[in-house]
Structure 1
Amino acid sequence: MEVKDGKPNFSFMPLREDGKVDAEGKVFAKLRQRCGGERESRIFILLLVFLGCLVTWSLPKASVVHEHGDNNTTVDAILRAVPLTDGHNDFPIWLRAFHGNRIYSFNESSVIDGQVDFSRLRQGRLHGQFWSVYVPCPKEENDFDSSVYYEIVHDTLQQIDLVNRLIDYFPQHLSHAYTANDVWSSFKRNPQSISSLMGAEGLHQIGNSASIMRLYYRLGVRYITLTHDCNNMYADAAQAVEPVHNGLSTKGKEIVREMNRIGMLVDLSHTSDATMIDALNTTLAPVIFSHSNARALCPHPRNVPDAILFKLRDNGGVVMVTFYAEYTKCDNPRLASLQDVADHIDYIGRLIGFKHIGIGSDFDGMASGPNGLEDVGAYPSLIAELVKRGISRNDIEGIIGGNILRVLAEAERVAQALSLVLPIEDEVKPLLP
């Protein structure tokens, strides 16, 4: 989730001159693109052409994939072989912001405003999802007193509960998952069920407490981003006003090792370059970037520079390419497209190897997806584009799920190896005067 002034950033929704969302403009732009501008002299012919275009434009997504010809068979085979797993989806904070976390008025056929609902999830053939239990940064810049975080911890627990309630209320669509093996087993048993894990988006959400972090893990959180867009007592953020630690603090290095000890993935999206380097030098397990792109293609501080991509390769981790327009096409985010996202995948893969790439869409954390990746129903179109570019089937299977599940399994193995190491203990206030 990206925010401005403490609110979700939906700045790239196309607008009309009156400031309202230009939904009709997008429709007619698509019609013009598909139908062209030919004029006929007789009105009934014009009408027939227009109606024909409407029918063509409204065909289901399977017909769009079919346009790739033989790729359709390959895409289907890939999706049957590997659980398509997305590293970052902000549906929970969307539900909090616009529906007050009230879910029991929804059913499996509900069309929910935004980029996610069960109908489109089925269309996209998603099987694994790290749902973000994001809560915004505190308003106090660089005030790391524990009291600042009490409400944030409270709200994070509500978001974790929301995800667990969603899974329990919609068991025909969602299932609990805690390990890489859980995802694979569920995929073999019921490919249409979405194995659901969680990720917390910033160590500000643990309230300066390793104890709370461990409890999050027990509740299903499997990665924590070291920062969001604010510094915390452990690490510096990419988009904070100024650094305070020049990377990880001493406690930050301790918390990274504690994450390794329990099997919590270390996520470096949103962190400063210095934090990335310190974390890669500290961690005992592979790390992830849950939703970031290549800085060489889009020079934004939220993206990953080549030098750190090489360190990620040596670490064995993955960068999960995001669809967020501002980090995909820096020069003109409104024109970001599926092809631009594929460019980032192509670039990173050819630089450090495709086994270090995943998908971290950020659906419902952005105003609108790139052209061709408007919602969760569009994953097969991205896979078709990767096939079209000549990326091997084995590499694509890794990109869409195999790689992140390998990294999660490796983090679990590291935790097992560290099982005799004692937990770090919080500093607590004296109970007695």
Structure 2
Amino acid sequence: MRHFLFATAAAVLAVSAPAAAQTEAERTASAALEAAPVWDGHNDVPIQLRSRLGNVINQFDFGDTLDTATDARNAMHSDLNRMRQGKVGAQWWSVYVSASLPEAEAVQATVEQIDVTKRLITRYPQDLQLALTADDVEEAMAAGRIASLLGMEGGHSIGSSLAVLRQMYDMGARYMTLTHGKTLSWADSATDAPQHDGLNAFGKDVVREMNRIGMLVDLSHVSEAAMMDALDVARAPVIFSHSGARAVTGHLRNVPDSVLARMPENGGIVMAVALPWFITEDLRQHAAARTAERARLEALFPGLPDTVEAQLAKWDAENRAPVSTISDLADHIDHIRDVAGIDHIGIGGDYDGMPTGPIGMEDVTGYPALFVELAKRGYSQEDLEKIASRNMLRVMRGAEAYAASVTDMAPIEYPAGEPRDAGD
């Protein structure tokens, strides 16, 4: 806890210290975040409201959530006070629901998550403002409020229905991640067995319809083949709302160079994630080794779970997990810049959807420290402004512009009730 408080204080001081006491990198980062606050690509507060509070939030204090720790779980990573400290000016709130739910239940749960997120926004009119367009984002930022946008995490949320997709847009959803952790009847997930070698015919129509109505296509969580299929079909910029670079950390949730190289042509953006196991290869390897050790112990001691746990605790003591740092995250940003270019980078922390961020970025207060690290690496103020929010603003305007150019295009139709698992 002492380390956490020290790291958080250091991150804040790096941007708030008197100008005379700041280093050149701190001044550059401070100026950039003043001109272009962070537009974060992914925050899971809505599912925290569901799992912790059952979406009963009338007495919930989102101004300060540091007291939300319990014996079973850590305190939330986000609240209004800390988002201000973290220089967050716009937030994509993830209205995620479990991919294990049957589709009809997933649709209902997603509507409930849209509802609770809107209710949270409405409760804090001085701090939060619902944003449906890029203009709304700029208006909220200019007024000193945190622009609040809704993103669906996983195509299970539309129940394999373009009609539901369109209605989710009308309710305020402005991006959808095509899959979460499970392959769908129309799209392959990065972390599940593939069925379609990417997207099937219906999956490609999902992308086309999202482009037509102006909903951003989010390719975090999908397989490399699905990324490629979506880029082949897309006529508007895509996003990766919370992903790293696979060349730096080999997790399949990260973006391979083959896809990064296509970002300039598409105009899209990769919003670098802060989840330690996605950004620190040593930590990913340690987690795999621990999983293998558990499997070995369970094979050696079948039916003796207490023995397995005791032996695993001994292994943990002898094999301390590596730490994840801000420098690790900056390495991903460096790589995305080197392959895709500075115009195709954003930030997608994944706070409140992971146990913790890296050291120095354990919660949403850590963004300024990341920008100081990038400034130390030679990123200019203009570069940092692009990464913070200007690239995301351009991408959203691009999606809106394409939708405005095809208003005479008819909606894509499928007969009601027919399966959506047809091949190409």
Give the TM-score band, short-chain normalised: 0.7 to 0.9
- 114-123 or 421-430, which deviates more: 421-430
The one of 327, 332, 335 equivalent to 2:323 is 335
The one-letter amino acid paired with 1:115 is: H
Helix, strand or coil at the partner of 1:326: helix
Q: Partner of 2:373 in structure 1?
A: 385
Kindly, what percent of the aligned residue pairs are identical?
A: 45
After superposition, residues 270-289 of structure 1 pair within 5 angstroms as: 270-289=221-240
| Counterpart Cα distance in 2 of 1:325 and 1:162 | 28
Does structure 1 residue 117 correspond to structure 2 residue 79? yes
Does structure 1 residue 325 correspond to structure 2 residue 287? no
| Counterpart Cα distance in 2 of 1:196 and 1:353 | 27
Does structure 1 residue 370 correspond to structure 2 residue 370? no
Moved over 6 A (4+): none
| Counterpart Cα distance in 2 of 1:322 and 1:313 | 20
Q: Partner of 2:217 in structure 1?
A: 266
Q: Partner of 2:12 in structure 1?
A: 62
Change (3 A) 1:386 1:95: same
Helix, strand or coil at the partner of 1:383: helix
Are the counterparts in 2 of residues 293 and 321 from structure 1 also a CA contact under 8 Å?
Answer: yes
TM-score by length of 2: 0.83
| Counterpart Cα distance in 2 of 1:315 and 1:385 | 28
| Counterpart Cα distance in 1 of 2:341 and 2:228 | 20
Question: What are structure 2's unaligned runs of at least 5 residues?
Answer: 69-74, 285-321, 419-424
Q: Partner of 2:175 in structure 1?
A: 223
Does structure 1 residue 104 correspond to structure 2 residue 66? no
The one-letter amino acid paired with 1:131 is: W
Question: What are structure 1's unaligned runs of at least 5 residues?
Answer: 1-25, 32-53, 140-147
Change (3 A) 1:108 1:271: closer
| Counterpart Cα distance in 2 of 1:62 and 1:359 | 18
Change (3 A) 1:57 1:375: closer
Tell which has more relative contact order, 1 or 2 (C-alpha 8 A, sep 6+): 2
| Counterpart Cα distance in 2 of 1:64 and 1:413 | 38
Does structure 1 residue 357 correspond to structure 2 residue 319? no
The one of 173, 183, 187 equivalent to 2:137 is 183
The one-letter amino acid paired with 1:62 is: V
Are the counterparts in 1 of residues 12 and 369 from structure 2 also a CA contact under 8 Å?
Answer: no
Helix, strand or coil at the partner of 1:335: coil
- 370-379 or 97-106, which deviates more: 97-106
Are the counterparts in 2 of residues 124 and 376 from structure 1 also a CA contact under 8 Å?
Answer: yes
How far residue 225 of structure 1 moved from its aligned partner, in angstroms, is 0.6
The one-letter amino acid paired with 1:345 is: I
| Counterpart Cα distance in 2 of 1:373 and 1:68 | 20
How far residue 70 of structure 1 moved from its aligned partner, in angstroms, is 3.0
Q: Partner of 2:248 in structure 1?
A: 297
| Counterpart Cα distance in 2 of 1:347 and 1:61 | 23
How far residue 82 of structure 1 moved from its aligned partner, in angstroms, is 1.4
The one of 86, 90, 98 equivalent to 1:128 is 90
Q: Please list the CA deviations of residues 132-187 of structure 1 after superposition, one character each: whole Å capped at 9, or x if unmatched.
A: 00011126xxxxxxxx3111111000000011001111111110101111111222
TM-score by length of 1: 0.82
Are the counterparts in 2 of residues 173 and 194 from structure 1 also a CA contact under 8 Å?
Answer: yes
| Counterpart Cα distance in 1 of 2:361 and 2:183 | 32
Helix, strand or coil at the partner of 2:368: helix
Q: Partner of 1:251 in structure 2?
A: 202
How far residue 244 of structure 1 moved from its aligned partner, in angstroms, is 1.0
